[in-house]
Homo-oligomer: A and B are copies of this chain.
Amino acid sequence: MKTVLVTGFAPFGGETVNPSLEAIKPFAGWKTDTYTVETREIPTVFGKAIETLYAAMEDVVPDLVICVGQAGGRPDLSIERVALNVNDARIPDNEGNQPIDTPIVPNGPVGYWSTLPVKAMVHELRRHGIPASVSHTAGTFVCNHLFYGLMHYIAESQRPIRGGFIHIPYLPEQAARHPGQPSMALETVVKGLRIAIDVAFRQEEDIATSEGSIC
């Protein structure tokens, strides 16, 4: 029996809800024939986000880690391809920190690739009717921060853990307060995460179809 760790973030930026936190709740204690899922809430705070993740990883000893975060303005499940070693906060985090152009890991590599099969995930999601795409930027706020922290941990640990990050849209109730912004129902997101976890779990090699962008 293997273990999957799935994380979501606390609400931030004036929102009272974070879709990533709502979306992971149904996975708490979820079991299939081959894996069980553990869920954790991550504070939307630079530094503490990574500390909380690392404590969870020591506790859970996962084989697969998927961090989930809110991407207000995006219309689909964005499977992130790369984490960058920079904090550049456009707004303060939940404790008022607003780092600008600081490294997440001093002397760490510029970036880490997701080790999830991002294209296989996108294709399987679409096949099940869930809007999804590969993203080449996870931003420069706490989401990217956590994603980089995750991949750095995995790289340093040299254990065969696989990890990645998924950005999800606003919930409809959030978009109702942000006219013009796209949203996705919680049920659609949850169904999508279930598929994404499943594909990530059973497939190590990605598929070779283009999901690139010209610019």
- Residues of A near any B CB (own CB < 8 A): 13, 69-76, 78, 82, 84, 87-91, 98, 100-101, 109-113, 125-133, 136-141, 143-144, 167, 171-173, 175-177, 179-185, 187-188, 206, 208-215
Interface of A is mostly: loop
Q: Is the CB of B100 within 8 A of A13?
A: no
Q: How many copies of this chain does one complex carry?
A: 4
Q: Is the CB of B131 within 8 A of A181?
A: yes
Residues on B with C-beta less than 8 A from A125 are 176
Report if A140-B187 is in contact (Cβ < 8 Å); known contacts: A110-B113, A132-B176, A176-B132.
no
Q: Is the CB of A184 within 8 A of B187?
A: no
Q: Is the CB of A213 within 8 A of B109?
A: no
Which B residue sits closest to A132, measured CB to CB? B176
Query: In the complex, which of the residues B101, B129, B137, B139 contacts A172, with contact meaning CB atoms closer than 8 Å?
Result: B129
Residues on B with C-beta less than 8 A from A100 are 208-210, 212
Q: Is the CB of B75 within 8 A of A75?
A: yes
Query: In the complex, which of the residues B82, B128, B133 contacts A180, with contact meaning CB atoms closer than 8 Å?
Result: B133
| A140–chain B nearest beta-carbon distance, Å | 4
